[in-house]
Amino acid sequence: MTWQQFKITTLSKMQETESLTSTSEYRLPPAEERADYIRRNFDAIARNYDRFNDVVTFGFHRLWKRSAIRLTALPGNSGRQVLDLCCGSGDLTLLFADRLAADSKVTALDFSPGMLQILQHRLNKKKYTCAVELREGDAAHLTDCPNDFYDAVTIGFGLRNVQDRAGCLRECLRVLKPGRRLVILDVGRVNWTIPRVVHEFYFNHIVPRIGEWLHGERNEMYAYLPASARIYPGQQELARELETAGFTDVRYTNRFLGASVLHVAQKPV
Ligand SMILES: C[S@@+](CC[C@H](N)C(=O)[O-])C[C@H]1O[C@@H](n2cnc3c(N)ncnc32)[C@H](O)[C@@H]1O
């Protein structure tokens, strides 16, 4: 067998397995039930979430999150207001809090009380100089957030879960100060054939097993993760959605050949 034949046979076998399991083992709940399902299940896995992230990304999510903070390009750390949407256990919130001065504030918003509890627990362990407010709420309806108020908005591995993505992006635009940035960190599409198939196999088959192993029992949320990635837009499509929402200077930067991606978008001045 030639290398080319070996490559085609192996890839098609892996793709076959992938499409079989993704349709027969797990189905996303209907769109109208999804928000409730996601909230309930994030509550259920909250205590294992950080360990899970460390294991499945080999710790790299920490570097990507540092890049996300850098890409907000905050003009100084004094007198700043930042908003971390879908904050979860608060990695981005705490990175902001580490950098901001006493007259600044981080608002961390999530709709899962379980995840917010973990963040509160992490906040209790260390003294931060700036104010940190935890808010339970929906990232697509920022009702308590004023217009033109925040110096930066971040969403880490969260936008993929928000049902009304267009609504969420419009809200981000509304609450940002003109000229300031939204930074989105999430999964992306790997474009190179062999790395893509390897990544899909890892993401669809290995990651859910690791999740269940760490959790100690079966939990649908670990199968939800790859399923949600399949319906999330690719890098260019999301860039177009950001432009449609009204952002300018939209760009993205891939990590791990696009397995992870950081989008940066600016509110027009
Ligand atoms: C995968 S976690 C990401 C947590 C954290 N930002 C990080 O990067 O590690 C996704 C979080 O988004 C939250 N979430 C999903 N949809 C949401 C929504 N519509 N409004 C607010 N929070 C939401 C979930 O509760 C969960 O805590």
Residue-wise pLDDT for 98-152, tens only, equals: 999 999 999 999 999 999 999 999 999 999 999 999 999 999 999 999 999 999 9
Residue 25 lies in a domain: no
**How far is CA 174 from each of CA 17, 25, 167, 177, rounded to the nearest angstrom?**
44, 40, 10, 8
> Domain range holding 178?
31-190+234-266
Spatial separation of the C-alpha atoms in residues 224 and 182, rounded to whole Å: 26
Residue 140 lies in a domain: yes
Q: What is the CATH number of the domain that holds 92?
A: 3.40.50.150
Write down the pLDDT at residue 28. Answer: 87
Distance 111 CA to ligand 1 centre (A): 7
pLDDT at 177 over 90: yes
Distance 260 CA to ligand 1 centre (A): 16
Residue 2 lies in a domain: no
Q: How many CB atoms lie within 10 A of CB 254?
A: 15
Write down the pLDDT at residue 26. Answer: 80
Q: Total domain count for the chain?
A: 1
Cβ neighbours of residue 244 closer than 8 Å, sequence gap 6 or more: 166
Residue 4 lies in a domain: no
Residue 229 lies in a domain: no
Q: Is the pTM of this model over 0.75?
A: yes
- Taking only the tens place, the pLDDT of each residue in 192-232 is 899 999 999 998 889 989 998 888 887 888 888 889 999 99
Write down the pLDDT at residue 212. Answer: 87
Residue 218 lies in a domain: no
Residue 223 lies in a domain: no
Write down the pLDDT at residue 27. Answer: 86
Residue 228 lies in a domain: no
Ligand 1 atom nearest to 43, measured from its CA: 25
Distance 65 CA to ligand 1 centre (A): 14
Write down the pLDDT at residue 3. Answer: 46
